[in-house]
Amino acid sequence: MRRAFFGVAGLWLAAALGTAYAGEDGQDPPTIKRRHNLSDEDLRKQLLNVPEVGLNQPAAAALYEEMKAAKKSDKDGTDSLPSDAGGQFYLKLTRSINRPDMFMMPWRTGADSQIGRDSAERLHALSIKLRTMLRESVPKDDVRPDPKKVRAGLLASDEWTRPAALPTLLQMLMAENGDTRPVLIEVLSGIKGKDASIALAQRALFDLSPEIREKAVQALARRPAAEYQHILLVGMRWPWPAVADHAAEAIAALELKALAPEVLQLLRDQDPRLPYPRTATDSTLVVRDMVRVNHMCNCVLCHAPSQSKEDLVRGFVPVPGQDPPPLYYAERTGMFIRADITYVRQEFSVVQPVANSGKWPGNQRFDYVLRTRKATREEIKQYTQLVKDRKLPTASTPYTEAALFTLRQLTRMDAGTTYDDWAPVVQKFQKSLRAEKDQ
């Protein structure tokens, strides 16, 4: 079931009039059947248990002192700080405390870490515009942007409905409050192309609000499934089970029947949180897991230091013990990073409470990162025992339950709980789909 593309203006008008939005074909938008009735607060609390890596405030302060000392000792005045100064400092720190696992993150190097000049110029200009728009939309005696003003500002110019605006919109709005994030879905809905479809699919997986995830799924229903369905399949194997639930809900609501064979395969796969051999020729056991990084403490870990006022996307680095600046991109003195070079990119971001925040806000942004690391001794021991006891794959996990939910929703049948139960059913189901397509 695919629907014709509608622009942002049509979505905004429907919302303003308080009317239900339906596709041009007259069909109602899909509704989601929930796997679990977890609220955004329930999911946020789950994310508080995700291990934190990266620099804390004392470590960040030590890094900045080391960088200042290096610049003072630079006799020829060339400001020769290495672009990965934060990464080098963090590597030494993790070695000094015998925690090499903390350094295991999906590092980006070389050309993969830097965007081109044209993209950097767009990100520079749009970041300043959007940050100004958010700041000016905050009512007096409030700390939250007015979503109506943000929506009006984004709809006032077509520059926000172009694919080039995607990086800025996602980076700056995905961690906004629950009243503002629906505006992100509306704007993404009006951007044509595969990249916008992928962004919507990611919102359907990672946003903590059930209502916002549903809006993202409804937007996907008007777009070609080939542009985004692979993102939902990846979500079915995400090491945070809630994401697998969200993927299952989205695949079912969108009636992506062609994915039934891939979903069936999940009934044979082991729990994605368990160790597995790195490659077919390397038996080293590794684990995929999720970690979180404090956004304010790790500017120089994630980005290159800016050593020239001419650098694009130049952001001020907040210093522990000092008040963060109100105008992030407008500061003229201090320490800066260049956001056109990124060594670690988050999958999604959530604002979480911070104990002992000092002069910084009590609620700060955390970037959640998916990594692959070596399995610990205890994980290897448990995995080896499962293999010895022939308990892999395990019969029932959150992932097999999500797969069964999806198969039942797609086929409108309940064939059982195992791969062998479902294999002939899915085979017949696919045959009927092909026959229907050929008619």
Burial classification of residue 80, based on how many CB atoms lie within 10 Å of its CB (0-12 exposed, 13-18 middle, 19 or more buried): exposed
pLDDT of the residue at 15:
36
In a domain, 2, yes or no: no
Task: Give the single-character DSSP code of 308.
Answer: -
In a domain, 194, yes or no: yes
- 315-335 as b/e, with b when 16 or more CB fall inside 10 Å? bbbbbbeeeeeeeebebeeeb
CB distance 75 to 308 below 8 Å:
no
The overall longest dimension of the chain from CA atoms, in Å, is 78
Task: Give the single-character DSSP code of 26.
Answer: S
Q: Are strands 285-294 and 52-53 parallel, antiparallel or unpaired?
A: parallel
In a domain, 276, yes or no: yes
In a domain, 163, yes or no: yes
In a domain, 1, yes or no: no
In a domain, 259, yes or no: yes
The H-or-E segment that residue 205 falls in is helix 194-206
Question: Which residue segment(s) compose the domain that 50 sits in?
Answer: 8-438
CB distance 220 to 200 below 8 Å:
yes
Per-residue pLDDT tens listing for the chain (439 residues): 333 333 333 333 333 333 333 444 557 888 899 999 999 999 999 999 999 999 999 999 999 999 988 877 765 555 678 999 999 999 999 999 999 999 999 999 999 999 999 999 999 999 999 999 999 999 988 889 999 999 999 999 999 999 999 999 999 999 999 999 999 999 999 999 999 999 999 999 999 999 999 999 999 999 999 999 999 999 999 999 999 999 999 999 999 999 999 999 999 999 999 999 999 999 999 999 999 999 999 999 999 999 888 999 998 999 999 988 765 555 567 889 999 999 998 999 999 999 989 999 999 999 999 999 999 999 999 999 999 998 888 779 999 999 999 999 999 999 999 999 999 999 999 999 998 888 7
pLDDT of the residue at 345:
86
Q: Is 376 helix (H, G, I), strand (E, B) or coil?
A: coil
In a domain, 344, yes or no: yes
Place of tokens 């007259």: 26
* pLDDT tens string 132-158: 999 999 998 888 999 999 999 999 999
Secondary structure in 3-state letters for 116-173: CHHHHHHHHHHHHHHHHHHHHCCCCCCCCCCHHHHHHHHHCCHHHHCHHHHHHHHHHH
Count of the separate structural domains present in the chain: 1
pTM exceeds cut of 0.95: no
Residue from 375, 412, 393, 371 nearest 288 by CA? 371
Beta partners for 372?
A: 288
Q: Cα(383)–Cα(242) distance, rounded to whole angstroms?
A: 23
- Sheet (strand 303-305) strand order: 303-305, 336-342, 314-316
Residue 282's φ and ψ, nearest 5 degrees, are -125, 110
In a domain, 3, yes or no: no
pLDDT of the residue at 7:
36
Place of tokens 């990594």: 371
Number of H helices, E strands in the chain: 17, 8
Residue 286's φ and ψ, nearest 5 degrees, are -125, 165
CB distance 165 to 191 below 8 Å:
yes
The H-or-E segment that residue 364 falls in is strand 363-374
Q: Cα(138)–Cα(395) distance, rounded to whole angstroms?
A: 51
Q: Where are the beta strands (DSSP E) in 232-362?
A: 276-277, 285-294, 303-305, 314-316, 336-342, 348-353
